[in-house]
Structure 1
Amino acid sequence: MTGRPAPTVLPPPLRTPLLLIAFLAALIVVALGLRYAGHTRPGRVDEWVRSAVDGVRPPWRQAVLATDFLGEPVGAAALVVAAVTGCLLLRRPRAAVLVLLGPALAVVATRSLKPLVGRTIHDVHLSYPSGHTAFLTAFAFALALLAAGRTGIRTATGTLLVLASAVVAGAAMGWAQVALAAHYPTDVLGGWGTALAVTPACAWLIDRIADRIAHRNAARTADAGRRAQPR
């Protein structure tokens, strides 16, 4: 009600490095998309990585299926609802919006890119970039931004925290997707890059919009206070 801005979701010390990383990630996504456009077979890198993770057996098979479930609609919705609730309890509304919109926009981006790239797996399924990988990477990225903002850590440490979270989440989901033969490894890399490109930009946009709304409300409050003063 006072018009005071809520804590930023993209901490100012991390803004420049993460937006630069977003730009570089977008270039990687585009480069891989051009490289594998229209392909129906794995590349050399894909074959090498697939051979390393082929033949997953219990209990790792259960871990693969559980990780894959986190990218399915029910699992993803459960993660997002829990995270949004946590953000609201911590009084971080901007983080709640990012946890909701960041992964959603990352998935939308992958779905938009798939028909443009036209790469297929098993001859029929569009595969580049991986939506499952993009979702979990963006989700972890958003939570790491929340943690970095609350702890107030410095630029280098905060950037490493966010990137490490994105790497771990992307690697876990990517491993599951390759082990299940749902995606080529380069599809996974494309999904990971998509999340890194979309999430910081989404966070920056949320802060810009929220700041404008807060400043507008503050101006209205100040104007109403001046009008209420006796003359």
Structure 2
Amino acid sequence: MFRFPPAVPRAAGVQWSPAIPVFMCSMLLAALFAATRAAHGSPFGVDDGVHGWVLEHRPRWAVAAAVAVTVTGSGVPAYLLAAFAGALAFRTDRWRGALGGALALVSVQLPRIALASWLARPRPPADDWAWTANGYAMPSGHTTTSAAVAALLTAGVYRTVRGRARTPLLIAPALWAATVGLSRVYLGMHWPTDVLAGWLLASAWAGLLVMSPILLRRRKTGAVPSNESEGT
């Protein structure tokens, strides 16, 4: 598991925890699942609207570009990127970091597969696909995977890169993951809400990844750090 750097010092009296975005993403994801379940997997109005627009705006060059992006968001490319992110974060033990990155990506796949099987939402009609796909629709596998890899890459860059290159390198993984998610809709293989579910799931997972070392440190110390205690 990645050991993230210490949090930025907080202003006096200000309390913030990654538990807040984890809770919010989890609640939104639960609401989306509940609504989808109640609709028996049928697409929502926004799904039909966006899907219909996509089918009318798919020139060959744009489809080729979307395919080139979408294939990087799963399978071997995604695991190689996750391993690279781990090696980047663990500068003193590259092999251990690479293994940790790959295992971290596995840890988000297990709940994704379980949730997708439980929800069993059908994909859009196969005649509308511009590429190959398999499995259930929600949450989108490529979207969840690429967003999780982006979180790992961001953590690796945050730990190791300094100087002018740092900001664009912190932004690039998120842009890539967003493009992968959008490509799934553009290629007609997912409803927009499938992609939204993937982003929410990956965000909650990333928040838990950040929280885990914090909770472990607090459990080991068994007390609030001295600079947070009353009277300091």
Q: TM > 0.5 between the two?
A: yes
> Do the aligned residues in 1 keep the contact of 2:116 with 2:139 (CA within 8 Å)?
yes
Structure 2 residue 208 is matched with structure 1 residue 201: yes
**Partner residue of 2:8 out of 13, 17, 24:** 13
Aligned residues: 200
- Give the direction of change, closer, same or farther, for the CA distance of 1:52–1:16 in structure 2 (3 Å limit): farther
SS at match of 2:118: helix
Aligned mates of 1:131, 1:88 — CA distance in 2: 27
More displaced, 11-20 or 62-71?
11-20
Based on CA coordinates, which of the two structures has the bigger radius of gyration? 1
TM-score, with length taken from structure 1: 0.69
Aligned mates of 1:46, 1:114 — CA distance in 2: 18
Q: 1:61-96 CA distances to partner (integer Å, 9 max, x unpaired)?
A: 222112221223122222223333333447689975
Aligned mates of 1:195, 1:175 — CA distance in 2: 15
Structure 2 residue 187 is matched with structure 1 residue 185: no
> Do the aligned residues in 1 keep the contact of 2:26 with 2:201 (CA within 8 Å)?
yes
- Give the direction of change, closer, same or farther, for the CA distance of 1:92–1:75 in structure 2 (3 Å limit): closer
SS at match of 1:120: coil
Aligned to 1:144: 154
Structure 2 unmatched runs, 5+: 10-14, 126-133, 222-232
SS at match of 1:175: helix
Q: 1:158-204 CA distances to partner (integer Å, 9 max, x unpaired)?
A: 9xx97x66753442122111122221100100000000001121233
Q: 1:104-138 CA distances to partner (integer Å, 9 max, x unpaired)?
A: 22222211101222221257942111121011111
More helix per residue: 1
Aligned to 2:35: 35
Higher RCO, 1 or 2 (CA under 8 Å, sep at least 6)?
1
More displaced, 9-18 or 73-82?
9-18
Aligned to 2:142: 132
How is 1:8-157 mapped onto 2 (pairs within 5 angstroms)? 8-9=3-4, 11-13=6-8, 16-37=16-37, 39-54=40-55, 55-89=57-91, 99-122=101-124, 125-150=135-160
Deviation at 1:31, TM superposition (A): 0.6
Q: Deviating runs (4+, > 4 A) in structure 1? A: 90-98, 122-125, 149-152, 164-167, 206-209
SS at match of 1:183: coil
- Give the direction of change, closer, same or farther, for the CA distance of 1:117–1:166 in structure 2 (3 Å limit): farther
Aligned mates of 1:151, 1:48 — CA distance in 2: 42
